[in-house]
Amino acid sequence: MSQTDREKWDARYRDGAYGARVHPSALLADWVDRLEVAGAAPRAIDIACGAGRNALFLARRGWHVDAVDISLVALGRLRAAAKAEDLPIICVERDLEPASDALNGIGDGKHSLALLIRYTDMPLVEALPRAVAPGGYLIAEMHLRTDVPVAGPRSPRFRVAPGALRRAAAAFELLYYHEGFVDDPDGRTVALAQLVGRRRALSVNDAHPGPGGP
């Protein structure tokens, strides 16, 4: 990501981008109560959180959320909303490129849920298992390539090819996968790849590798 891209996102948010998109991802809303998480205040990381519609949704339900984005303008909006409601959201300014460094110091396996909603970066998906605690979840949603005119990014660079999200998240046990058209609450039709996966719990051998083990 170049400085120009950062400025582009800041300018978009300054112009009021996504101001009306306050509803959470329907995929997250559908799955949040099905997640088996221990403790009264589980931790989530919302990656490329934007103005934080999903982070706010989770925090209102008792989650502690680390919310990561490159746009200080978007994070400022989220920080103000979280403060107004006294919600436990920590905003982290971070360039997620390159994916190999994206989660250093923030995605270190302590989260019960990683959220990646409408941000397309397949190397980052491949790096996500280390951000999630064993038994924790990944909920991911990306714009899908299609020839049908739908809302969302015009460039195929910001859309996933059919099957690509599923392959990139192969380290997670697949709980749900869908590719197709979805009507957003604002009335726009989008083409999406959606995935819910669970990081496999560590086996005894993982925790205590024997002689010759890793």
Which stretches of the chain bind ligand SAM, using CB under 6 A?
A: 1, 9, 18, 48-50, 53-54, 69-71, 74, 94-97, 117-119
Give me the helix-helix angle, 72-85 and 3-14, nearest 10°: 50
Q: Minimum Å distance from CB 168 to ligand SAM?
A: 17
Q: Minimum Å distance from CB 201 to ligand SAM?
A: 27
* Amino acid in the structure at residue 41: A
Question: Do 191 and 150 contact (CB within 8 A), yes or no?
Answer: yes
Q: Minimum Å distance from CB 174 to ligand SAM?
A: 21
**What's the rounded Cα separation, in Å, for the pair 67 and 84?**
16
> Which CB sits closer to ligand SAM, 183 or 206?
183
> Which CB sits closer to ligand SAM, 60 or 200?
60
Query: Which residue lies nearest ligand SAM, judged by its C-beta?
Result: 50
> Which CB sits closer to ligand SAM, 98 or 162?
98
Q: Minimum Å distance from CB 94 to ligand SAM?
A: 6
> Which CB sits closer to ligand SAM, 18 or 135?
18
Question: Do 55 and 65 contact (CB within 8 A), yes or no?
Answer: yes
Question: Do 112 and 35 contact (CB within 8 A), yes or no?
Answer: yes
**What's the rounded Cα separation, in Å, for the pair 104 and 16?**
30
Backbone phi and psi for residue 15, each to the nearest 5 degrees, phi listed first: -80, 0
> Which CB sits closer to ligand SAM, 104 or 203?
104
> Which CB sits closer to ligand SAM, 30 or 97?
97
Instruction: List, in sequence order, the alpha helices (H) in 32-103.
Output: 53-60, 72-85, 99-102
Q: Minimum Å distance from CB 66 to ligand SAM?
A: 13
**What's the rounded Cα separation, in Å, for the pair 214 and 209?**
6
Q: Minimum Å distance from CB 97 to ligand SAM?
A: 4
